[in-house]
Structure 1
Amino acid sequence: MQSADGNLITLTRRVVEPMGYELVNVEFFQHGAGGATLRVYIDHERGITLDDCAAVSHQLSGVLDVEDPLPGHYDLEVSSPGLDRPLVFPEHFARFAGSRVRIRLAEKLDGRRRLEGLLQGCESGIVRLDAEGRLWEIPLTSVESARLVPEF
């Protein structure tokens, strides 16, 4: 699974945001013999319903048919981000400062690839995380994935 390229994200954002939803993430992955999936995560302050997903799917599929940004056949899935919401864009890291997060790094930093701690925010492309008794400063470009840790 991989995040989609910038052009596909921009195209998707142009559809999702005017409908009143937040674009959380866009993923595109290939599987099997020529099959692929385009997965779009949306959110709203009141939460996401099945009707929300259907409405975005309908609008987005029309734009994707016209723009044709992806070669071949693929399935479009529109979903809520779930309780363990992914953090993808810099504004996500800023918005969820104070939340518990789990981060996986592309390469080791001080001998670690996985960190879990309290998110302190993100400024100038640097994610700050309070974990293991210290403040980590992680370049956003080094973050392979980041997710909220649900607290019950």
Structure 2
Amino acid sequence: MEADLATVTKLIEPEVKALGFDLVRVAMTGGRSDPTLQVMAERRETRQLNLDDCQAISRKLSDLLDEKDPIEGAYRLEVSSPGIDRPLTRKADYADWAGHEARVKLTVEHEGAKQLSGVIQGIENNIVSIATPKGVREVPFESIASAKLLLTDKLINATAPLSTEGADSIQTEG
């Protein structure tokens, strides 16, 4: 199965934005045996996504993907939130999540390392700064193969739901 993810992203991003969400990542996972188009999105104001949001995006994208058919063969569509230990895929992510710990994998070795872990300092002129135990490393955004936030108490506190009202009560019918 071949899928041009740039084409798929260009197709679906306006639809996701029209629903009031930001597209975080589009990826094909599962390989040939279980191909899955994974779409991660979030609400602009909360950076979260609930089940109703996932369903709304899924319905909209299912219809669009069926109509335009940009992916060869059968596949599953999976719409999800990026989660707490989210991937960092956009330049803005490095500004938004400055002060939090991340693991960054590079496409090429940089100063003797192909992977860095540390606190994101930010991004300026396409250069991402990461404070590592060996000092601040500056890497070009284009040389980042993948990156994700690391689960820490600080991150958990920063991503706590805006409202937990009713979270500890169980409602039953009948």
What SS class does the counterpart of residue 91 from structure 1 fall into?
A: helix
| Contact kept in structure 2, 1:4 and 1:27, CA below 8 Å | no
Ranges in structure 1 where 5+ consecutive residues have no aligned partner: none
Deviation at 1:80, TM superposition (A): 0.8
Q: Quick one: distance in 2 between partners of 1:97 and 1:90?
A: 11
Matches within 5 A, 1:72-151: 72-151=73-152
Instruction: Give the equivalent residue in structure 2 for 1:60.
Output: 61
Looking at secondary structure, tell me which structure has more strand per residue.
1
Q: Quick one: distance in 2 between partners of 1:32 and 1:118?
A: 36
Q: Quick one: distance in 2 between partners of 1:32 and 1:7?
A: 20
Deviation at 1:84, TM superposition (A): 0.6
Instruction: Give the equivalent residue in structure 2 for 1:22.
Output: 22
Deviations 1:47-81 (A, max 9, x none): 21111111100001111111211111111000111
Q: Quick one: distance in 2 between partners of 1:79 and 1:43?
A: 8
Deviation at 1:137, TM superposition (A): 1.0
TM-score (norm 1): 0.89
| Contact kept in structure 2, 1:4 and 1:26, CA below 8 Å | no
Deviation at 1:32, TM superposition (A): 3.7
Instruction: Give the equivalent residue in structure 1 for 2:156.
Output: none
Q: Quick one: distance in 1 between partners of 2:5 and 2:141?
A: 16
Q: Quick one: distance in 1 between partners of 2:25 and 2:47?
A: 18
Letter in 2 for 1:134: G
Deviation at 1:4, TM superposition (A): 6.2
Q: Name the % identity.
A: 36
What SS class does the counterpart of residue 31 from structure 1 fall into?
A: coil
Q: Quick one: distance in 1 between partners of 2:96 and 2:68?
A: 32
Q: Quick one: distance in 1 between partners of 2:49 and 2:10?
A: 21
Q: Which has the larger radius of gyration?
A: 2
Q: Calculate the aligned-residue CA RMSD, in Å.
A: 1.8
Q: Quick one: distance in 1 between partners of 2:92 and 2:4?
A: 18
Ranges in structure 2 where 5+ consecutive residues have no aligned partner: 154-174
Aligned residues: 149
Deviations 1:119-148 (A, max 9, x none): 111122211111124111111111111111
| Contact kept in structure 2, 1:103 and 1:114, CA below 8 Å | yes
104-113 or 52-61, which deviates more? 104-113
Q: Quick one: distance in 1 between partners of 2:125 and 2:10?
A: 21
Q: Quick one: distance in 1 between partners of 2:28 and 2:138?
A: 29
